[in-house]
Amino acid sequence: MLKLNSPAKINLFLRVVGKRSDGFHELSSLFQAIDLMDVLTFEKSHEDRLTCTDPTLPTNQNNLVLKALNLFRQKTGIHFYPNIHLDKRIPAEAGLGGGSSNAATTLWACNQLTGQNVPLETLQAWSAEIGSDIPFFFSCGTAHCTGRGEIVKNLNPLPSPKIHIVKPEGGLSTPAVYGKVNLNSYKDFDVQDFISGKIHPFNDLEQPAFEIRPELKNLKLKLQAGGFDTVLMSGSGSSFFCLGEGQFIPDSSFKVYKTSFILRLKDNCWY
Ligand code: C5P
């Protein structure tokens, strides 16, 4: 049996650099893993079985866990049929990469349990075939991601501020948010300018998300009134992260998760 943490991510900045001929958008984004984590348990068996604590999530081939398992079998040619249990804690459709993280964790687990010794870089390259955000989770936990998100460059760890994740009711569809991006408004910049503090956290997907769900803009204003240093949507939403000290005005329309940055410390260990 193998039990593994599967962390969420936030995007400390997300710049949409352009639109590609394959329909995807070219990005420049600083991804950071956080210790809001699902837990996945894998057991060798004779047939695939996926169970999940969240009854609203599909446990069929649409789940990225099973897509990753199939990808591993297809690439290695190995016959491997595990029972997998997903203890879901990361909110879905939140821009926190929960499904992508689960897929990366599954590829890692398959490699461990079958003793295939596929190099980490190879697992990472394979993972891009089933989702743009998955390769990030094979990084050290802090990375600059470009291309459609799948080109991952490890960065030195950043000091963790206090972080609260705020998840409003209802999610957002990633393709719908990308569909509203106004490509003329954004300019590329140097990552070092962000790291040195010259550029503050921002997300080019926030405005398009507000066009789809205008009430999210009101939520952002409400959170900003709590005094946090930064309040920003993560990825394509609908969650926000609040950095630094601040207060929440009690509201039953969202859930709050207290968290911090985490790192993947060694190449031969998972989170
Ligand atoms: O790669 P992934 O399956 O996560 O992408 C989901 C959808 O999000 C894509 O089909 C595309 O509409 C949009 N997307 C995009 N540009 C990216 C990543 C995702 O337009 N860089």
Ligand 1, atom 3, residue with closest C-alpha: 131
DSSP the chain: -EEEEEEEEEEEEEEEEEE-TTS-EEEEEEEEEEEEEEEEEEEEESS-EEEES-TTS--STTSHHHHHHHHHHHHH----EEEEEEE--SPSSSSS-HHHHHHHHHHHHHHHHHT----HHHHHHHHTTT-TTTGGGGSSSEEEEEETTTEEEE--------EEEEEESS---HHHHHHT--GGG-----HHHHHTTSS--EETTHHHHHHH-THHHHHHHHHHTTT-SEEEE-TTSS-EEEESS--PPP-TTEEEEEE-B-----TT---
Q: Token pair of 228, please? A: 């946090």
Shortest-distance atom of ligand 1 to CA 16: 21
Q: Active-site residue among 9, 67, 88, 220?
A: 9
- From residue 53, give the alpha-carbon distance in Å to each of 50, 59, 80, 231: 10, 10, 23, 30
Residues with CB under 6 A from ligand 1: 24-25, 27, 131-133, 148-149, 174-175, 178
Q: Residue 258 forms beta bridges with which residues?
A: 164
Indicate which atom in ligand 1 lies nearest the CA of residue 27: 21
Q: Is 9 labeled as catalytic in the residue annotation?
A: yes
Residue to mutate, 67, 148, 181, ligand 1, most ligand atoms under 8 Å from C-beta:
148
Per-residue pLDDT tens digits of the chain, which is 271 residues long: 999 999 999 999 999 999 999 999 999 999 999 999 999 999 999 999 999 999 999 999 999 999 999 999 999 999 999 999 999 999 999 999 999 999 999 999 999 999 999 999 999 999 999 999 999 999 999 999 999 999 999 999 999 999 999 999 999 999 999 999 988 766 788 999 999 999 999 999 999 999 999 999 999 999 999 999 999 999 999 999 999 999 998 788 899 999 999 999 888 899 9
Of 157, 112, 152, whose CA–CA distance to 134 is shortest? Answer: 152
Burial class (CB in 10 A: 0-12, 13-18, 19+), 97: buried
Predicted pLDDT at 185: 66
Q: What pLDDT is recorded for position 267?
A: 81
> pTM for this structure?
0.97
Pull the structure tokens for residue 54. 């969240």
Query: Probe ligand 1: pick from 11, 25, 27, 180, max atoms within 8 Å of CB?
Result: 25
Catalytic residue, from 35, 38, 133, 204: name it.
Answer: 133
Q: C-alpha dihedral over 264, 235, 240, 13, to 10 degrees?
A: 70
Rounded-to-integer distance, Cα 131 and Cα 97, Å: 10
Give, using CA atoms, the residue closest to atom 19 of ligand 1: 24
Inter-residue contact 94 to 87 (CB < 8 Å): no
Residue nearest to atom 21 of ligand 1 (CA): 148
**Cα 44 to ligand 1 centroid, rounded to whole Å:** 32
| Other residues' Cβ atoms within 10 Å of the Cβ of residue 47 | 7
* 133 catalytic per annotation: yes
